[in-house]
Structure 1
């Protein structure tokens, strides 16, 4: 049974965590716009296989603290939160698994604190490439005329207003639109917000009947969580992309030496083919043990194909 509690970290940050099982520690890091609940299936499956599984609401999300100020959500701070969670749980090492933004945090933890990481798994998002000559928000603005979704998220209050107008409709559209259940022509190839439009315009209209992997109770859980937290904390992660570019200069060229695995849904729009992904990830993570493609899944792999992902993770943990 999943238990819930709060953990106090150095600096006064309080993170809410969901925890289940006993054994070697596995830390599951969610992405945007999610919270611990996106790992509900893995909490059950991994703990049943003999692991202590912990899924925090990361800073800015769910029932965790939401500090004021955009600069409270930098990548070094997010990495510090994970390090703090591992220590607060009384553990010396953990398997660190992240999805979406959580994958970037997981890769970063493995880069700067390999002593704490038994193995790292990135789901949907590979490790950060080397720093370019121009900060990422500026680069996207110059390349796409400000229409790239990162830039749409930049202005405080804009995306918050769009997403918060009707939370139920927002999550139906987001979860369906980035999933493998969407139509073959569902949305543009690049996430460029249309002039005068919003981010949700990038997703196709969801059907009245939810796909099999998503229930009305699941949608209600997301609505309840974001009624509590709002979207500002999660959007602030994006607003720090240029600041992260500056703060992580010392990491440039560093590689992930921990045993690593990359997992992606076959219908995720970021999927560029196994060979391409293998080469890209292995360059940044020499300990890469291969790319696993989950058939028919889109971006929300751990929710769309929970049994398959749990099996993949258990094989990786056993191999490591």
Structure 2
């Protein structure tokens, strides 16, 4: 199955735009005051999703006066899917380029899941444009890159993703997207799984499934290589920008132990929130609580 790219252009109280940055084109859903002087909030989605996962947060953030940009990361949905350059630091520079292309001097970067890894990397690789960072359902990358500390529920899929071809087929022609959305959600919460067909359709876009798998392959295979060691060495410098972390109390993928060292990598203000009844897909499983946490954080860090 090859998806129709219109699945990415879901209508709503936002506009769709292609933005040039870091040598590629990125699809962005924009909302809020068009004035580039307004505070910019960039939303980065998780795997196996795309910008649509933030649909509950975009309107209230925009109504609160923020300029909101929910982007598709490199390799996902409506953004470019190059055959190479899947390193996390490259994705951080993609986000920095989008911020500049939108005419903003800086932004608060909010990342969920895989997008959270990119958000954690922003203060290191794009400090000039990173005003603050909010990370949902994703621990700091340094301990997470050590296989012996990866949660068991995350290690299995991560290792299976290293196999060529088969994961891509399961994402586009099988039910892997639906199974992951169900397995990583809190019991009985279908906030994300209810939209499995749309997320599967986006994975069916040409080269999307392969690109997303290449991101995860880099995360594992780079760890012993010079590029991976340089990336982790850079991230060992603690973040001085304000940080908000939000995790689900019933996250089957990332349990509480996975987050126990986050504070070791933050020297600036740190807020930590636990949503007791949510799983991994926080923006959809607990939309009101996530919006409330983000609005409170933004009120503190954006003056």
TM over 0.5: yes
Asked if 2 retains the 8 angstrom alpha-carbon contact of 1:28 and 1:39, the reply is yes
Tell me, in whole angstroms, the C-alpha distance in 2 between the residues paired with 1:284 and 1:215: 33
User: Is 2:68 aligned against 1:65?
Assistant: no
Tell me, in whole angstroms, the C-alpha distance in 2 between the residues paired with 1:215 and 1:104: 22
Aligned to 1:171: 177
Aligned to 1:205: none
Residue-by-residue CA offset, 1:230-281 (whole Å, 9 max, x unaligned): 41111111111232523415505311110001100110132326xx84x522
| Residue 171 of structure 1, CA deviation | 3.2
Aligned to 1:196: none
Asked if 2 retains the 8 angstrom alpha-carbon contact of 1:104 and 1:128, the reply is yes
User: Is 2:21 aligned against 1:15?
Assistant: no
Aligned to 2:168: 160
Tell me, in whole angstroms, the C-alpha distance in 1 between the residues paired with 2:284 and 2:123: 24
TM-score by length of structure 1 reads 0.79
| Residue 161 of structure 1, CA deviation | 1.8
In structure 2, list runs of 5 or more residues that go unmatched.
1-12
| Residue 136 of structure 1, CA deviation | 4.9
Residue-by-residue CA offset, 1:86-128 (whole Å, 9 max, x unaligned): 1000101101000111111001012233331221011011222
CA-atom RMSD in angstroms: 2.4
In structure 1, list runs of 5 or more residues that go unmatched.
183-210
SS for the counterpart of 2:104 is coil
Quickly say closer, same or farther: Cα 1:250–1:179, change in 2 above 3 A.
closer
Which residue of 151, 162, 168 corresponds with 2:159? Answer: 151
Which residue of 239, 256, 264 corresponds with 2:217? Answer: 239
How many correspondences in the alignment? 275
Tell me, in whole angstroms, the C-alpha distance in 1 between the residues paired with 2:32 and 2:249: 30
Quickly say closer, same or farther: Cα 1:75–1:163, change in 2 above 3 A.
same
SS for the counterpart of 1:240 is helix
Asked if 2 retains the 8 angstrom alpha-carbon contact of 1:140 and 1:148, the reply is no
TM-score by length of structure 2 reads 0.83
Asked if 2 retains the 8 angstrom alpha-carbon contact of 1:179 and 1:304, the reply is yes
Larger Rg: 1
SS for the counterpart of 2:186 is coil
Tell me, in whole angstroms, the C-alpha distance in 2 between the residues paired with 1:7 and 1:294: 34
SS for the counterpart of 1:76 is helix
Aligned to 2:9: none
Residue-by-residue CA offset, 1:121-154 (whole Å, 9 max, x unaligned): 11011222269xxx857x799xx9xx73222111
Which residue of 214, 230, 234 corresponds with 1:251? Answer: 234
Asked if 1 retains the 8 angstrom alpha-carbon contact of 2:46 and 2:116, the reply is yes
Asked if 2 retains the 8 angstrom alpha-carbon contact of 1:140 and 1:151, the reply is no
Aligned to 1:186: none
Which residue of 117, 125, 136 corresponds with 1:112? Answer: 125
| Residue 227 of structure 1, CA deviation | 2.0
| Residue 212 of structure 1, CA deviation | 5.4
SS for the counterpart of 1:234 is helix
